[in-house]
């Protein structure tokens, strides 16, 4: 079993839709949770960084962490074609700076 599970998609939505991306994890030691956006053949770009359970909002993006269920989500409101990319969840814990990534979800926002 992988430490971090993420539905690979692809996920296709119309412009303006609300997108929900999710990851589950098995290692209860994970404390820090991140969402990265990766365009084709580019390095990942950090979107959201959360530590505790609950919600964190930044513009059109909301990150949600439920440690009791070992489940994290990223919501994108008013999705745009420029949001089309692969979204990777990543996580780590105190004392470990390397990240454990999910497999990534490919998102396509149709104009």
Partner 1 sequence: GAVVSQHPSRVICKSGTSVKIECRSLDFQATTMFWYRQFPKQSLMLMATSNEGSKATYEQGVEKDKFLINHASLTLSTLTVTSAHPEDSSFYICSAYHSMNTEAFFGQGTRLTVV
* Two tokens, residue 5: 């599970």
Q: Which is nearer to partner 1, 30 or 36 (CB)?
A: 36
- The strand ranges marked E within the chain are 4-6, 11-14, 19-25, 32-38, 45-50, 54-58, 61-66, 71-76, 85-92, 100-101, 105-110
Name the pairing type of β-strands 11-14 and 105-110.
parallel
Q: How far is the CB of 27 from partner 1 (least distance, A)?
A: 14
Of residues 33 through 52, those in contact with partner 1 by CB under 8 A are 34, 36, 41-46, 49
Q: Which is nearer to partner 1, 58 or 78 (CB)?
A: 58
- The verdict on 91 binding partner 1 (CB under 8 A) reads no
Instruction: Tell me which residues touch partner 1 (CB under 8 A).
Output: 4, 6, 8, 32, 34, 36, 41-46, 49, 88, 97-104, 106
């Amino acid at each position: 079993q992988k430490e971090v599970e993420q539905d690979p998609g692809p996920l296709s939505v119309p412009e303006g839709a609300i997108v929900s991306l999710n990851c589950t994890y098995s290692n209860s030691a994970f404390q820090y949770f991140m969402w990265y956006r990766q365009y084709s053949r580019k390095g990942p770009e950090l979107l959201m960084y959360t530590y505790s359970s609950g919600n964190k909002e930044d513009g059109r993006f909301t990150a949600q962490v439920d440690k009791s269920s070992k489940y994290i989500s990223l919501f994108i409101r008013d999705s745009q074609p420029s949001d089309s990319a692969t979204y990777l969840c990543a996580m780590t814990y105190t004392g470990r700076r390397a990240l454990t990534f999910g497999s990534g979800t490919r998102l396509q926002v149709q104009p």
